[in-house]
Amino acid sequence: MAKKTPPLRSTRWFGRDDIYGFLYRSWVKNRGVPQDQFDGRPVIGICNTYSELVPCNSHFRALAEHVKNGILEAGGFPLEFPVMSLGETLLRPTAMLYRNLASMDVEESIRANPLDGVVLLVGCDKTTPALLMGAASVDLPAIAVSGGPMLSGKYRGTDIGSGTNVWSMSEDLRAGRITRAEFHEAESCMHRSHGHCMTMGTASTMASMVEALGVGMPGNAAIPAVDARRNVLARMAGRRIVDLVREKTPLSKILTKAAFENAIRANAAIGGSTNAVIHLVAIARRIGVDLKLEDWDRLGRDVHCLVNLMPSGKYLMEDFYYAGGLPAVLRELSESRLLHDDALTVNGRTMGDNVREAPCWNRDVIHSMKKPFKKNTGIAVLRGNLCPDGAIIKPSAATPKLLKHRGRAVVFESIEDFHRRIDDPALDIDERSVMVLKNCGPKGYPGMAEVGNMPLPPKLLRKGVTDMVRISDARMSGTAYGTVILHVAPEAAAGGPLALVQNGDLVDLDVARRRLQLLVPEAELAARRAKWRAPKPPLERGYWKLYTDHVLQANEGADLDFLVGKSGPFVPRDNH
């Protein structure tokens, strides 16, 4: 006898002939849904992060319509729903504080509703990891669709990228070199279309991670938000998610260890943001993949940066797309045997099949592995008595001679302390000093601010100093640079050794040996530890309290401890 296919999850809502079936269908029918939509076809959620408070995702109502069309064409039943959206530009104190909250919203919204699969509409930096984390904990079939980057900024004949030139322009305004009208004109020129930041910052990095993980359609990383082909991609994703439900392909079949390894190598090849380290570790831990900090170091070590994009190069995401986009980069990795070709992707093909014939149309934008844009651009993971649970540095963004350095610490107890003192001409600091910033980690800030690339003291800038060793438990923007050691774990506010550093202590950095040491005798450190008191959190109620009480350290993805792992799509209490 042929094996009967088990009914879809949604039939436990819509496939019933009792009072509850009546209730479930009847209320949905109130907007004109005919009875035949409840005939057992896949019900697909469209998880929408549209918000006018998140400019990067402000076109998502229209994007959702294209997904919907695809779902209908493939015989599915689309149901769009909103979730918390996170914008980098307006949210205070930092969007990262709310990533885990948004992921809870996503997880519970998916699990509690009659959905068989879900399309995740993601764009601005934190929306991508938040939605992937939430969806991973439910583990239904899922496809992520990124909103796409903005068109290149154009100002007086030159290309300008998101965030670039902002500092010099605000300085020019302050110095009276440009007028307010010119300043406002520049604002309009920098961000002139829908979409997310168009440099290779965190949003573009995460859109690339979506594609490299295989959880997005080929082309996801770079098609501009306003290019009609972005709408085609959304429509194709709508069609494919229906197939994924029918084929019974949960997210965990896509998000395997091989997929994460592909993403880590892709991150090195695009010169991606250090923020990807935290986000990928968090997503992996949700889906049950054992991804460690050292995996970043091991896998990225032999990979070169192939793309000549701002902030480290000169082009923008629009140019990247016209040059071939991420498939051209992944093909280079594949041909260098640095890609798991057999990793399954959401379009039903393997990664190798997707990228085998990928063309490159401009070798100045996308370089080959033989003639890379920059050599060895992976992320180095440091260990030592200053960071027993790890810290990271992007050596390609650092000054080579500072990668081995010993200097005395100049300590800032908080970012406020830093701002108070950094301009002081009497600050006791020179170019060999090591700037140490505390209490900006997950608990300490809270939310791990992007302040790790501390600006240098003006008195050293005037002397022509361009870089110094900087150490913190913070993150840094995907567009930042320098010999910057980030994500020190455990952080200062959790009582990590960083909390014990004092002015004048010698710090020894040796990136080649992956070491970061505080040269202070253990007895002295023990005495300091005995006197250390945890700083008082700035707010002790609501989500802020939940967050500071439960957030994990950066090496564990800065997730909340009780959110790690997955509980699947089943609703444990169900009296209907």
Question: Which residue, 203 or 251, is less far from ligand FES as judged by CB?
Answer: 203
Write the CB contacts of 209 (distance below 8 Å, at least 6 apart in sequence). 128, 263, 266, 267, 272, 276, 279, 280
Question: Which residue, 74 or 200, is less far from ligand FES as judged by CB?
Answer: 200
DSSP string, 46-74: EEE---TT-GGGTTHHHHHHHHHHHHHHT
Question: Which residue, 56 or 330, is less far from ligand FES as judged by CB?
Answer: 56
To 10 degrees, what angle do helices 166-174 and 180-190 make? 170
| Segment contacting ligand FES by CB under 6 A, of 82-90, 270-278, 360-368, 523-531 | 82-90
Site for ligand FES in 194-223 (CB under 6 A): 196-197, 203
CB of 400 to ligand FES, least distance (A): 29
Question: Which residue, 105 or 125, is less far from ligand FES as judged by CB?
Answer: 125
Write the CB contacts of 94 (distance below 8 Å, at least 6 apart in sequence). 445, 447, 448, 449, 450
Question: Which residue, 321 or 412, is less far from ligand FES as judged by CB?
Answer: 321
CB of 206 to ligand FES, least distance (A): 9
Site for ligand FES in 360-379 (CB under 6 A): none
Q: Which residue in 37, 69, 89, 385 binds ligand FES (CB under 6 A)?
A: 89
Is 124 an interacting residue with respect to ligand FES (CB under 6 A)?
A: yes
Q: Which residue in 28, 56, 266, 499 binds ligand FES (CB under 6 A)?
A: 56
Site for ligand FES in 138-177 (CB under 6 A): 162
Total H helices, total E strands in the chain: 20, 14
Question: Which residue, 203 or 392, is less far from ligand FES as judged by CB?
Answer: 203
Q: Which residue in 105, 107, 116, 125 binds ligand FES (CB under 6 A)?
A: 125
CB of 231 to ligand FES, least distance (A): 20
Q: Which two tokens stand for residue 91?
A: 């949210």
Number of residues that bind ligand FES (CB under 6 A): 10
Sign of the CA dihedral with 298 first, then 304, 308, and 313 last: positive
Distance separating alpha carbons of residues 211 and 269, to the nearest angstrom:
13
Q: Which two tokens stand for residue 470?
A: 């900087």
Question: Which residue, 68 or 196, is less far from ligand FES as judged by CB?
Answer: 196
CB of 294 to ligand FES, least distance (A): 29
Question: Is the distance from CB of 355 to CB of 344 less than 8 angstroms?
Answer: no
Distance separating alpha carbons of residues 530 and 525, to the nearest angstrom:
9
Question: Is the distance from CB of 298 to CB of 379 less than 8 angstroms?
Answer: no
Distance separating alpha carbons of residues 405 and 224, to the nearest angstrom:
42
Is 450 an interacting residue with respect to ligand FES (CB under 6 A)?
A: no
Q: Which residue in 8, 83, 88, 212 binds ligand FES (CB under 6 A)?
A: 88
CB of 87 to ligand FES, least distance (A): 6
Question: Which residue, 13 or 60, is less far from ligand FES as judged by CB?
Answer: 60
Write the CB contacts of 481 (distance below 8 Å, at least 6 apart in sequence). 311, 312, 397, 453
State which amino acid sits at residue 542. G
Distance separating alpha carbons of residues 383 and 377, to the nearest angstrom:
19
Binding mask 399-438 for ligand FES (x = CB under 6 A): ----------------------------------------
CB of 162 to ligand FES, least distance (A): 6
Strand partners, 382: 391
Distance separating alpha carbons of residues 67 and 119, to the nearest angstrom:
8
Site for ligand FES in 289-328 (CB under 6 A): none
Residues making up the chain, counted from first to last: 576
CB of 494 to ligand FES, least distance (A): 29
CB of 275 to ligand FES, least distance (A): 11
Site for ligand FES in 178-197 (CB under 6 A): 196-197
CB of 308 to ligand FES, least distance (A): 20
* Nearest alpha-carbon partner for 234 in 104, 103, 59, 351: 59
Which single residue is written with the structure tokens 């965190």?
202
Sheet containing strand 43-48, strands side by side:
77-82, 43-48, 117-122, 142-146
CB of 88 to ligand FES, least distance (A): 4
CB of 91 to ligand FES, least distance (A): 10
Distance separating alpha carbons of residues 272 and 239, to the nearest angstrom:
30
Sign of the CA dihedral with 338 first, then 556, 483, and 127 last: positive
Strand partners, 470: 435, 484
| Segment contacting ligand FES by CB under 6 A, of 87-95, 105-113, 288-296, 400-408 | 87-95
Question: Which residue, 51 or 249, is less far from ligand FES as judged by CB?
Answer: 51
Question: Which residue, 207 or 507, is less far from ligand FES as judged by CB?
Answer: 207
β-pair type (380-382, 391-393): antiparallel
CB of 335 to ligand FES, least distance (A): 31
Question: Is the distance from CB of 326 to CB of 334 less than 8 angstroms?
Answer: no
CB of 455 to ligand FES, least distance (A): 20
CB of 202 to ligand FES, least distance (A): 7
Write the CB contacts of 521 (distance below 8 Å, at least 6 apart in sequence). none
Distance separating alpha carbons of residues 302 and 293, to the nearest angstrom:
16
Binding mask 514-543 for ligand FES (x = CB under 6 A): ------------------------------
| Segment contacting ligand FES by CB under 6 A, of 10-18, 81-89, 267-275, 280-288 | 81-89
Is 475 an interacting residue with respect to ligand FES (CB under 6 A)?
A: no
Distance separating alpha carbons of residues 205 and 221, to the nearest angstrom:
8
CB of 127 to ligand FES, least distance (A): 8
DSSP string, 530-541: HH--PPPPS--S
Question: Which residue, 125 or 491, is less far from ligand FES as judged by CB?
Answer: 125
| Segment contacting ligand FES by CB under 6 A, of 86-94, 271-279, 336-344, 371-379 | 86-94
Name the site residues for ligand FES (rule: CB under 6 A): 56, 87-89, 124-125, 162, 196-197, 203
